[in-house]
Amino acid sequence: GRVSLWGGRFAGGPADALAALSKSTHFDWRLAGQDVAGSKAHAKVLHAAGLLDDDELDGMLAALERLREDVASGAFVAADDDEDVHTALERGLIERAGPELGGKLRAGRSRNDQIATLTRMYLRDEARTIAGLVLDVVDALIEQAAAHPGAAMPGRTHLQHAQPVLLAHHLLAHAWPLLRDVDRFIDWDVRAARSPYGSGALAGSSLGLDPAAVAAELGFDGPVENSIDGTASRDVVAEFAFVAAMLGVDLSRLSEEVILWATKEFGFVRLHDSYSTGSSIMPQKKNPDVAELARGKAGRLIGDLSGLLATLKGLPLAYNRDLQEDKEPVFDQVDTLEVLLPAFSGMVATLEFDTERMASLAPQGFSLATDVAEWLVREGVPFRVAHEVAGACVRVCEERGIELWDLSDDDLAGISEHLTPGVRDVLSVEGSLASRDAVGGTAPVRVAEQLETAKERSAEY
Ligand code: ARG
Q: Which residues line ligand 1 (CB under 6 A)?
A: 24, 28, 84, 111-112, 115, 319, 321, 323-324
Minimum-distance ligand 1 atom for the alpha carbon of 323: 12
pTM of the model: 0.95
Which own/partner pairs from 69-73 qualify as long-range (CB within 8 Å, at least 24 positions apart)?
71/32, 71/33, 71/36, 72/33
The catalytically annotated residue of 39, 252, 274, 279 is 279
The catalytically annotated residue of 39, 42, 148, 158 is 158
Q: If you take atom 2 of ligand 1, which residue's CA is the nearest one? A: 324
Determine the distance separating the centroid of ligand 1 and the alpha carbon of 428, expressed in angstroms. 66
Q: If you take atom 12 of ligand 1, which residue's CA is the nearest one? A: 324
Determine the distance separating the centroid of ligand 1 and the alpha carbon of 92, expressed in angstroms. 18
Determine the distance separating the centroid of ligand 1 and the alpha carbon of 87, expressed in angstroms. 10
279 is annotated as an active-site residue? yes
Q: Residue 2 and residue 82: Cα distance in Å, rounded? A: 8
Q: Residue 78 and residue 324: Cα distance in Å, rounded? A: 17
Angle 293-271-182 from CA coordinates, rounded to 5°: 55
- The answer to whether the beta carbons of residues 81 and 3 sit under 8 Å apart is yes
Determine the distance separating the centroid of ligand 1 and the alpha carbon of 336, expressed in angstroms. 25
Q: Residue 144 and residue 121: Cα distance in Å, rounded? A: 36
Q: If you take atom 5 of ligand 1, which residue's CA is the nearest one? A: 111
Q: Is 225 exposed, middle or buried (0-12, 13-18, 19+ CB in 10 A)?
A: exposed
- The answer to whether the beta carbons of residues 61 and 43 sit under 8 Å apart is yes
What sign has the CA pseudo-torsion 187, 230, 232, 332? positive
> Which phi-psi region, left, alpha or beta, contains residue 198 (left: φ > 0; alpha: ψ -120 to 50)?
left
Asked if the bond preceding 318 is cis, omega within 30° of 0, the reply is yes
Q: Residue 67 and residue 59: Cα distance in Å, rounded? A: 12
- Give the number of other Cβ atoms within 10 Å of residue 311's Cβ: 18
Q: If you take atom 3 of ligand 1, which residue's CA is the nearest one? A: 324
Ligand 1 binding pocket mutation candidate from 86, 112, 122, 322 (most atoms within 8 A of CB): 112
Which ipTM was obtained for this model? 0.93
Determine the distance separating the centroid of ligand 1 and the alpha carbon of 216, expressed in angstroms. 24
Q: Residue 289 and residue 277: Cα distance in Å, rounded? A: 6
Per-residue pLDDT of the chain (461 residues; tens, 9 = 90+): 455 677 778 888 889 999 999 999 999 999 999 999 999 999 999 999 999 999 999 999 999 999 999 999 999 999 999 999 999 999 999 999 999 999 999 999 999 999 999 999 999 999 999 999 999 999 999 999 999 999 999 999 999 999 999 999 999 999 999 999 999 999 999 999 999 999 999 999 899 999 999 999 999 999 999 999 999 999 999 999 999 999 999 999 999 999 999 999 999 999 999 999 888 888 888 899 999 999 999 999 999 999 999 999 999 999 999 999 999 999 999 999 999 999 999 999 999 999 999 999 999 999 999 999 999 999 999 999 999 999 999 999 999 999 999 999 999 999 999 999 999 988 999 999 999 999 999 999 999 999 999 999 999 98
Q: Is 241 exposed, middle or buried (0-12, 13-18, 19+ CB in 10 A)?
A: buried
26 is annotated as an active-site residue? no
Determine the distance separating the centroid of ligand 1 and the alpha carbon of 28, expressed in angstroms. 11
Q: Residue 244 and residue 93: Cα distance in Å, rounded? A: 35
Q: Residue 265: CB partners within 8 Å, gap ≥ 6? A: none
Q: If you take atom 6 of ligand 1, which residue's CA is the nearest one? A: 111
Minimum-distance ligand 1 atom for the alpha carbon of 112: 7
